[in-house]
Amino acid sequence: MARTHILGFPRVGAHRELKFAQEAFWRGESDEAALRGVAKDLRNRHWTLQRSAGLDFVTVGDFAYYDQMLNLSALLGALPARFGFTPSTLTLSQYYELARGNTAQPAMEMTKWFDTNYHYLVPELGSQTTFDGGVDWFFDEIDEALARNLPVKPVLVGPVTYLYLSKTHESGFDRLSLLPALIARYAAILEQLRRRGIEWVQLDEPALCLDLEPQWLDAFAIAYDNLGACGVNVMLATYFDTAADKARLVAKLPVHGIHIDLVRAPQQLDVWRAVLPAPTVLSVGVIDGRNIWRADLRKIVRSLETLKTELGDRLWIAPSCSLLHVPVSLEAERKLDASVKSWLAFATEKLSELNVIARALNDGQPAVEQQLAAADAALDARRSSGAVVNPLVQKRVGAVTDDMAERKSGFAERNIIQRQSLRLPALPTTTIGSFPQTPAIRQTRAAFKRGDIGALDYLERIRAEIETAVRRQEALGLDVLVHGEAERNDMVEYFGEQLWGYAFTENGWVQSYGSRCVKPPIIYGDIYRPEPMTVDTTRYAQSLTERLMKGMLTGPVTMLQWSFVRDDQPRSTTALQLALAIRSEVSDLEKAGIRVIQIDEPAFREGLPLRKSDWAHYLEWAVRVFKISASAVADETQIHTHMCYSEFNDILPSIAAMDADVITIETSRSAMELLDGFGEFDYPNEIGPGVYDIHSPRVPSVEAIQRLLERACEVIPAERLWVNPDCGLKTRGWPETEAALANMVEAAKALRAKLAIEALSESAVPG
Cite the annotated binding site by residue number. 16-19, 112, 117, 432-434, 485, 516-517, 562, 600, 606, 642, 644, 666, 727
Which residues, in sequence order, are CB contacts of 615 under 8 Å at separation 6+? Answer: 608, 609, 651
The C-alpha R_g of the chain, in whole angstroms, comes to: 28
Query: Footprint of Zn ion on this chain (CB under 5 A)?
Result: 602, 644, 727
3-state secondary structure of 434: strand
Nearer to ligand GLN, 167 or 695 (CB): 695
Q: Which residues of 470-483 are buried (b: 16+ CB within 10 A; e: fewer)?
A: bebbeebebbbbbb
What is the nearest approach in angstroms of ligand GLN to the Cβ of residue 512?
14
Q: Which of 79, 250, 533, 552 binds ligand GLN (CB under 6 A)?
A: 552
Pick from ligand GLN, Zn ion, none: which does 745 bind, CB < 5 to 8 A by kind?
none
Q: Which of 13, 123, 602, 690 binds ligand GLN (CB under 6 A)?
A: 602
Alpha-carbon distance of 252 to 751, in angstroms, equals 64
Draw the binding track, 627-666, toward ligand GLN (x: CB under 6 A; -: no contact). ---------------x-x----------------------
Instruction: Enumerate the known binding-site residues for L-methionine.
Output: 432-434, 485, 600
Nearer to ligand GLN, 23 or 490 (CB): 490
Only segment of 116-124, 274-282, 431-439, 705-713 that touches ligand GLN (CB under 6 A): 431-439
What is the nearest approach in angstroms of Zn ion to the Cβ of residue 666?
6
Residues 674, 665 contacting (CB under 8 angstroms)? yes
Pick from ligand GLN, Zn ion, none: which does 291 bind, CB < 5 to 8 A by kind?
none
What distances in angstroms separate CA 539 from CA 405, 441, 591, one per listed residue? 26, 20, 10
Alpha-carbon distance of 424 to 430, in angstroms, equals 11
Nearer to Zn ion, 8 or 602 (CB): 602
Strands 110-112 and 548-554: unpaired
Q: Which of 491, 560, 599, 623 binds ligand GLN (CB under 6 A)?
A: 491
Nearer to Zn ion, 12 or 596 (CB): 596
Which residues, in sequence order, are CB contacts of 623 under 8 Å at separation 6+? Answer: 654, 657, 658
Alpha-carbon distance of 238 to 654, in angstroms, equals 30
Nearer to ligand GLN, 275 or 535 (CB): 535
Pick from ligand GLN, Zn ion, none: which does 433 bind, CB < 5 to 8 A by kind?
ligand GLN
Alpha-carbon distance of 269 to 164, in angstroms, equals 26
Alpha-carbon distance of 694 to 736, in angstroms, equals 10
Q: Which of 13, 433, 689, 700 binds ligand GLN (CB under 6 A)?
A: 433
Instruction: Enumerate the known binding-site residues for L-homocysteine.
Output: 432-434, 485, 600
Residue nearest to Zn ion (CB): 644
Only segment of 190-198, 242-250, 432-440, 521-529 that touches ligand GLN (CB under 6 A): 432-440
Pick from ligand GLN, Zn ion, none: which does 304 bind, CB < 5 to 8 A by kind?
none
Nearer to ligand GLN, 407 or 640 (CB): 640
Draw the binding track, 716-735, toward ligand GLN (x: CB under 6 A; -: no contact). -----------xx-x-----
Is residue 589 within the footprint of ligand GLN (CB under 6 A)? no
Would the CA dihedral through 2, 346, 110, 572 be positive or negative? positive
Q: Which of 242, 429, 434, 444 binds ligand GLN (CB under 6 A)?
A: 434
Is 169 in the active site? no
Nearer to ligand GLN, 141 or 600 (CB): 600
Residues 688, 721 contacting (CB under 8 angstroms)? yes
Residue 40's CB is within 10 A of a number of other CB atoms, namely 14
Alpha-carbon distance of 385 to 374, in angstroms, equals 16
Residues 141, 131 contacting (CB under 8 angstroms)? no
What is the nearest approach in angstroms of Zn ion to the Cβ of residue 688?
12
How long is the chain?
767
Residue nearest to ligand GLN (CB): 728
Residue 611's region, left for phi above 0, alpha for psi from -120 to 50, else beta, is beta
What is the nearest approach in angstroms of Zn ion to the Cβ of residue 668?
11
3-state secondary structure of 255: coil
What is the nearest approach in angstroms of Zn ion to the Cβ of residue 642?
6
3-state secondary structure of 721: strand
Site for ligand GLN in 740-759 (CB under 6 A): none
What is the nearest approach in angstroms of ligand GLN to the Cβ of residue 731?
9
Which residues, in sequence order, are CB contacts of 530 under 8 Å at separation 6+? Answer: 498, 500
Nearer to Zn ion, 415 or 563 (CB): 563
| Angle subtended by helix axes 734-764 and 455-476, to nearest 10 | 40
Name 259's bridge partners.
Answer: 237, 283
Name 565's bridge partners.
Answer: 523
Which residues, in sequence order, are CB contacts of 133 under 8 Å at separation 6+? Answer: 75, 76, 77, 87, 88, 185, 188
Nearer to ligand GLN, 145 or 482 (CB): 482
Which residues, in sequence order, are CB contacts of 169 under 8 Å at separation 6+? Answer: 124, 126
Residues 481, 541 contacting (CB under 8 angstroms)? yes
Q: Which of 42, 236, 356, 432 binds ligand GLN (CB under 6 A)?
A: 432
What is the nearest approach in angstroms of ligand GLN to the Cβ of residue 100?
22
Q: Count residues contacting ligand GLN (CB under 6 A)? A: 13
Catalytic residue among 119, 483, 640, 695: 695
Which residues, in sequence order, are CB contacts of 108 under 8 Å at separation 6+? Answer: 70, 80, 98, 99, 121, 122, 123, 124
What is the nearest approach in angstroms of ligand GLN to the Cβ of residue 642?
5
What is the nearest approach in angstroms of ligand GLN to the Cβ of residue 655?
15
What is the nearest approach in angstroms of ligand GLN to the Cβ of residue 28?
32
Residues 235, 283 contacting (CB under 8 angstroms)? yes
Nearer to ligand GLN, 10 or 602 (CB): 602
Pick from Zn ion, ligand GLN, none: which does 730 bind, CB < 5 to 8 A by kind?
ligand GLN
For binding to ligand GLN (CB under 6 A), which residues are involved? 432-434, 485, 491, 552, 600, 602, 642, 644, 727-728, 730
Active site residues: 695
